[in-house]
Amino acid sequence: MAIGFTWWSASGGPGKTTNAMQTAAAIGRDGYDVLAVDLDPQRGALTHYCGYGDLAYDDEEAGHVVEPDIMDVLFGEEGLEEIIVETDHFDLVPGHEDMGNFESAVADSSRMAADQFFVVRDAIEDLSSDYDVVIIDTQATHTKLVDNALVAAQNIMVPIELTPKGKASQQELEDTLEAIEKGFRGMNVDVTIRGTVPSRVGNAKIFEEYREQMENEGIPISPFSIPEHSLLRYTWDKRMDLFSFIESEDTRELRAYEEHVPLAYKVIGRWMVGDYSYDEAIERWDEVKDKEMGDATPEKLLEDADPTTEVNV
């Protein structure tokens, strides 16, 4: 049975799609079979990032029609395996702009009210034995599609801005999860916040201040932040994950101040799947965050930091 994660924040812009992409790749590189699911109706989401943007929309006038798409799977007879495509380190269920019609489609379906929150979960469960990890990326706006993503994954990873806006988004998420827990009590739904990852942090002092404040309030927060780097924008432009970008002969080499970024995603990925406990993740991060990568891989640096750690490779 696969373990599921949804990257979600009610505020736009904190990097949920970027984090979904990079953690899926980081976990896949450790030997896990990873399925990423794009549940964002926007064309510029995970499907586009992975280089499959042409699968995210129809243009009937140009003769471009994607059949079947994810809506055909969720509300038709097609199976999820019919639309899965491959990337370097994980498989992808492409999103489609027709998911903007999810609310009306589920309302018109024969599903009873409570069962309308299990559409995505039912589709994924058919393939759960084929994968170790499922990572879902969904839109920021809170809709029934988002609720479906949360119920399907049950483990929520929250990219958060260290600003009052970010904390308000975190509170909205906690209120949403509390409502889901009450609404589905006794129905095998246990949705929890697995971790909070500060994104686009430009000031280390502000990060530490907010981290201490949030920890005191009982909000789980990672010991590592994802700074706003041009490196991640380059990976977007190249339509490839960070690790493929590093290894490609058609891209530039990492600059010294960028080398900790893939290490951060490796540590976050191993923390997500349980290869590192929270305390171990902090320890590994402290050991490798300032190391120069050179010709080594992120995995090799982490292995050198703790050769006793076993991962599923």
SS3 56: coil
| pLDDT at 202 (0 to 100) | 56
Supply 257's token pair.
Answer: 């101040």
d(CA 23, CA 27): 6
d(CA 222, CA 204): 14
| pLDDT at 302 (0 to 100) | 82
Supply 142's token pair.
Answer: 């809170």
132 phi-psi bin (left φ>0, alpha ψ -120 to 50, beta other): alpha
CA 44 to chain centroid: 15
d(CA 16, CA 188): 26
Domains of the chain in sequence order: 3-241 (3.40.50.300)
d(CA 65, CA 58): 5
Q: What is the CA radius of gyration of the chain?
A: 19
Angle at 195 between CA 12 and CA 229, to 5 degrees: 50
| pLDDT at 282 (0 to 100) | 83
- pLDDT, one tens digit for every residue, the chain (313 residues): 789 999 988 776 668 899 999 999 999 999 999 999 999 998 768 999 999 999 999 988 888 999 999 999 999 988 999 999 999 999 999 999 999 999 999 999 988 888 899 999 999 988 878 999 999 999 988 899 998 999 999 999 988 776 666 666 666 667 776 776 676 666 777 888 888 888 766 556 666 777 777 777 776 777 677 766 688 889 999 999 999 999 999 998 888 888 888 888 999 999 999 999 888 888 888 888 777 777 678 888 887 766 555 555 4
Residues sharing a CB contact under 8 Å with residue 40, sequence separation 6 or more, in sequence order: 17, 46, 95, 99, 137, 138, 139
| pLDDT at 313 (0 to 100) | 44
Beta strands in 40-114 (DSSP E): 85-86, 91-93
| pLDDT at 89 (0 to 100) | 97
Of 266, 302, 274, 262, give the one whose Cα is nearest residue 132.
274
Query: Whole-model pTM above 0.95?
Result: no
Identity of the residue numbered 124: I
pLDDT tens readout for residues 286-306: 888 777 777 678 888 887 766
| pLDDT at 186 (0 to 100) | 63
| pLDDT at 3 (0 to 100) | 94
Q: What are phi and psi of 307, to 5 degrees?
A: -65, -10
Q: What are phi and psi of 296, to 5 degrees?
A: -75, 160
